């Protein structure tokens, strides 16, 4: 399931993050790549040692906590502390799949990467190329969103960032371990939650709202790993 989550960051928050990133030190993005990914990854990244990273991560994590759509789409158990990358002209990240398990920074254990997320920090008109291409059973899907918008998709998907031919593409990226491991089950729960919200908005006093909500939470009880 691929979901576009609009307005995760406001225009002002994006501008602040960009200003902080402008002054930061960038390193070779292969620092977080696995063995296979490193062969095809060509970008820049803010290192874990960067003093700016804690502030930037806090901005993104607080925004995620405030997003009902993010919560519904991912049902998070853990969120990997957000990272920040940049693709300048000539850079790309070829087709790859994300590592299934990643160590958390600071020796804080590990996270199973059920869901991948890209939060765009550049406007589409700022660069040519740089599309996030996500492959699923229905083919390849091109994603290039406004600054402040985010896409979440199964981390098991083969995906790539196409070559930049003009400008620069900046983003935050991270992974989510969900309480619902199976993507098909998460999709069912998301669709049900959206339907409940629609019925509740149109018919707030209808008894079906309670019945459907009961079904939703009972399915979570059946499928959740907590």
Positions at the binding site for 2-oxoglutarate: 169
69 contacts 194 by C-beta, under 8 angstroms: no
Cα–Cα nearest to 171, from 116, 115, 125, 122: 122
Binding site members for Fe cation: 96, 98, 159
- Quick check: 3 and 151 in contact, CB under 8 A? yes
Contact 127, 162 (CB under 8 A): no
CA distances from 175 to 43, 139, 167, 206 (A): 18, 22, 26, 37
* Residues of each annotated binding site: 96, 98, 159, 169
N- to C-terminal Cα distance for the chain?
A: 21
């Amino acid at each position: 399931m691929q979901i576009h989550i609009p307005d995760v960051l406001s225009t002002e928050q994006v501008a602040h993050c960009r200003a902080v990133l402008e002054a930061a030190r960038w390193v070779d993005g292969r620092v977080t790549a696995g063995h296979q990914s490193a062969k095809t990854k060509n970008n820049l990244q803010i290192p874990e040692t960067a003093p700016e990273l804690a502030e930037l991560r806090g901005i993104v994590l607080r925004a995620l906590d405030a997003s009902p759509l993010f919560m519904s789409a991912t049902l998070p158990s853990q969120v990997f502390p957000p990272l920040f990358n940049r693709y300048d002209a000539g850079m790309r990240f070829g087709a790859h799949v994300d590592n299934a398990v990643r160590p958390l920074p600071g020796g804080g254990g590990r996270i199973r990467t059920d869901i991948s997320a890209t939060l765009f920090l550049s406007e589409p008109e700022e660069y040519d190329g740089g599309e996030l291409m996500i492959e699923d059973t229905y083919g390849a899907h091109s994603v290039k969103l406004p600054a402040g918008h985010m896409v979440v998709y199964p981390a098991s998907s083969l995906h790539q960032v196409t070559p930049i031919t003009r400008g620069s593409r900046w983003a935050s990226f991270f992974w989510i371990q969900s309480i619902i491991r199976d993507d098909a089950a998460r999709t069912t729960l998301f669709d049900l939650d959206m339907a409940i919200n629609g019925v509740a908005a149109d018919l707030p006093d209808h008894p079906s709202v309670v019945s459907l909500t009961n079904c939703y939470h009972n399915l979570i009880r059946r499928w959740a790993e907590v």
